[in-house]
Amino acid sequence: MTTEIQMMPKIGVQRLLEVENVQRYFKTRQVTFRGIDRGTVKAVDGVSLGVDAGETLGIVGESGCGKSTLGRIVLGLVKPSDGRVLIQGSDLYKMRGRQLREVRPKVQAIFQDPYGSLDPRM
C-alpha cells in the first residue's frame, strides 16, 4: 500500500531540506546452475519529504525498508537512481567545489542508541 501525504508550504518558513521522488535501485547478480540471474532491488522507491527551519525529522520503519539508504542519499553518500535532494533550494547532487564544502558541515545524521531508545518492559 502506498500512502501519499501532500505537504502545504508554510508562509514565511524556510525549507531547509526537500527530497523529491527519490529512488535508489541496486543491481543484483546471482550465479545458479542455469547461469547468471540478474535482477534489481528497490531499496528506496519514490520517497518525498520536506523539513522546514525549526523542525526535526525521524525516520522509522521495519528492518530492510530503506531507512539507511535514504539517510545516505540525503547525506550525499549514495547517489539516487532518480529524484532530487534539495538543500536550501540547491540540488545536492549538482553541487561542486566550494558550494559542496559549505553545505557538508550543515547536513548531519544523529544516530540513535538502540538500547536507550526503547523501554525493554514494553
Instruction: Write down the pLDDT at residue 36.
Output: 76
Among 99, 79, 76, which Cα is nearest to 23's?
A: 79
Number of structural domains found in the chain = 1
Instruction: Write down the pLDDT at residue 25.
Output: 95
Give the angle subtended at the CA of 62 by the CAs of 56 and 65, to the nearest 5°: 85
Instruction: Write down the pLDDT at residue 7.
Output: 57
Which residues partner with 47 through β-bridges? 22
Cα gap 65→53, rounded to integer Å:
27
Instruction: Write down the pLDDT at residue 31.
Output: 76
Give me the torsion for CA of 74, 107, 97, 27, rounded to 10°.
-20
| C-beta separation of 67 from 60 below 8 A | yes
Instruction: Write down the pLDDT at residue 17.
Output: 93
pTM: 0.75
CATH number for the domain that contains residue 57: 3.40.50.300
Q: Is residue 88 a part of any domain in this protein?
A: yes
Mean pLDDT (the chain) is: 84
Q: Is residue 72 a part of any domain in this protein?
A: yes
Q: Is residue 107 a part of any domain in this protein?
A: yes
What is the span of the domain harbouring residue 53?
15-111
Phi-psi region of 21 (alpha: psi -120 to 50; beta: other; left: phi over 0): left
Instruction: Write down the pLDDT at residue 24.
Output: 96
Q: Is residue 120 a part of any domain in this protein?
A: no
The residues of the chain scoring below 70 in pLDDT are 1-12, 113-122
Instruction: Write down the pLDDT at residue 114.
Output: 66
Q: Is residue 30 a part of any domain in this protein?
A: yes
Dig out the grid coordinates for 13 from the structure.
518558513
